[in-house]
Amino acid sequence: MSPPTKPPSKFIPSNRPILGPEEIAAVTKILESGMLTHKSGAGTYALQFEKTFAEFVGVKHAIAVNSGTAALHAALLALDIKPGDEVIAPPFSFIATTNMILLCGAKPVFVDINPENFNLDPDKVKDAITPKTKAILPVHLYGHPTDMDPLLELSQEHDFGIVEDACQAHGAKHRGRQVGAIGDIGCFSLYPSKVITTGEGGLLTTNNDKLAKRLRRIRTHGEIRPYEYVMMGHNYRMPEIEAAIGVEQMKRLPGFLEERNKNAEYLTKHLSDVEGIILPQEAEWATHNWYLYTIRILPPHNRDRILKTLHQAKIGAGVYYEVPLHLTPIYRELFGYKEGMMPVSEQAVKEVLSLPNHPALTEAEIAWIVEQVRQALA
Ligand SMILES: Cc1ncc(COP(=O)(O)O)c(C=O)c1O
């Protein structure tokens, strides 16, 4: 195919939810039934959604909640993270990751990432462990799994928990095992940009019966029977409308992953000879879900200028993230973090640029993206 010369008629978004008549029918059914939620924590559709997701991830339990943020908070509470505790996390993530540690009254301890896959660098984690370390919170950023083996070893040696932030990583695998099935608890987001969506929503996964019980209690005010509250909890229940959408999205998930992978292969094939960029890598032990296809723009190119050029060409490229968490005002103020403390993350925020990759990208759109990136870097 010769390179396309005309811009697409519509802006190409970086990600977009894919919903069809099946989701509309499912929502209509819930509205007609009048059963919008269930006070026990999960209604019929939430239970069905949980069962399908648990089977997909290969875990005993999935627990539906109303956001990825709620999932992270519930996971940390289930591990009894409290004031005085420390939780190790990367600074290159969305703010919800570490704000949930703060919400438990604990201290997020930032450890820098490795430059290959933008995830926690296990070698640096060792140096950050103290007697107060109660958990590690690796983030499978962009959908590439964190190297979990060294973290699992450390957690056994030092007896602390692992909560996987798999909010971007549905379907990603670590040595053949789905993420969310590796640490003590996995947390997923169902926000509209994510691999599957329910509007807002989240899922927790675990193989541990005791933790599953605690998570279900935390989801609904710590209640075990009507008006019998045995622990602190919240209203983190997933409404039935969302769960019904989730049930339909699960049927689409394998196809979504296939399309994302196909797009990523196309981008890699057609951008591999471009100088001045680094393409995303998939470690030999990993299966990327290609939630984000993130390239690095190297000097002397200017990432922000390239971003602007792509936006002008109707390409919704994005920067995730512009500021590492340790340099956001809240963490600077609370813990005295400064420039230079997490050099790999600080470099990454200046160079990363995510290209659109979602299952509805057309051949013409993806060819246009390739051509515009090539021109912008020529
Ligand atoms: C890495 C990461 N963690 C946590 C979250 C929070 O998920 P939610 O937006 O569903 O609360 C997100 C979602 O954007 C995320 O990308």
CATH number of the domain encompassing residue 269: 3.90.1150.10
The answer on 330 and 362 residing in a single domain is: yes
| CA 1 to ligand 1 center in whole angstroms | 38
Which of the listed residues 232, 248, 264 is the one where a domain comes to its end?
A: 248
What is the rounded CA–CA span in Å between residue 223 and residue 73?
17
- Same-domain check for residues 146 and 57: yes
The verdict on 108 and 213 lying in the same domain is yes
| Single residue among 248, 279, 303 that ends a domain in this structure | 248
Claim to verify: residue 206 and residue 63 sit in the same structural domain: yes
Same domain, 190 and 305: no
Q: Is residue 272 part of a domain?
A: yes
Q: Using a 6 Å cutoff on CB, does residue 168 contact ligand 1?
A: yes
**267 lies in some domain:** yes
Question: 148-166, pLDDT tens digit by residue?
Answer: 999 999 999 999 999 999 9
What is the tens place of the pLDDT at every residue in 42-84? 999 999 999 999 999 999 999 999 999 999 999 999 999 999 9
Dump pLDDT digits (tens) for 234-271.
999 999 999 999 999 999 999 999 999 999 999 999 99
- For the domain that residue 114 is a member of, what is the CATH number? 3.40.640.10
Task: Establish if 319 belongs to a structural domain.
Answer: yes
Domain identity same for 318 and 343: yes
Residue 230 lies in a domain: yes
Atom of ligand 1 nearest to the CA of 72: 4
CA of residue 197 to ligand 1 center, whole Å: 12
Give the distance (Å) from ligand 1 centre to CA of residue 374.
Answer: 31
Atom of ligand 1 nearest to the CA of 190: 10
Look over the chain and give the mean of its residue pLDDT values, rounded to a whole number. Answer: 97
Residues 196 and 86 in one domain: yes
- Summarize the confidence of residues 283-300 as an average pLDDT: 97
Cα(188) to ligand 1 centroid in Å equals: 8
User: Residue 300 domain-assigned?
Assistant: yes
Q: What is the pTM of this model?
A: 0.98
State whether 176 and 262 are in the same domain.
Answer: no
Q: Are residues 32 and 176 in the same domain?
A: yes
Is residue 3 assigned to a domain?
no
Is there a single domain that holds both residue 276 and residue 244? no
Phi-psi map region of 171: left, alpha, beta (phi>0 left; psi -120 to 50 alpha): left
Q: Domain total for the chain?
A: 2
For residue 329, is the peptide bond before it cis, meaning its omega torsion is within 30 degrees of 0? Answer: no
**Same domain membership, residue 159 and residue 260:** no
Instruction: Report the separation in Å between the CA atom of 58 and the middle of ligand 1, taken as the mean of its atom positions.
Output: 22
Beta-bridge mates of residue 220: 235
In a domain, 16, yes or no: no
User: Which domain covers residue 67, as residue numbers?
Assistant: 21-248
- Ligand 1 centre and the CA of 11: distance in Å? 24
Give, for ligand 1, the residue of 76, 117, 168 to mutate: max count of ligand atoms closer than 8 Å to Cβ: 168
Q: Is 354 in the pocket of ligand 1 (CB under 6 A)?
A: no
DSSP 54-121: HHHHT-SEEEEES-HHHHHHHHHHHTT--TT-EEEE-SSS-HHHHHHHHHTT-EEEE-PBPTTTSSB-
Same domain, 330 and 260: yes
Asked if the structure places residue 8 within a domain, the reply is no
Residues above pLDDT 70, as percent of the chain: 99
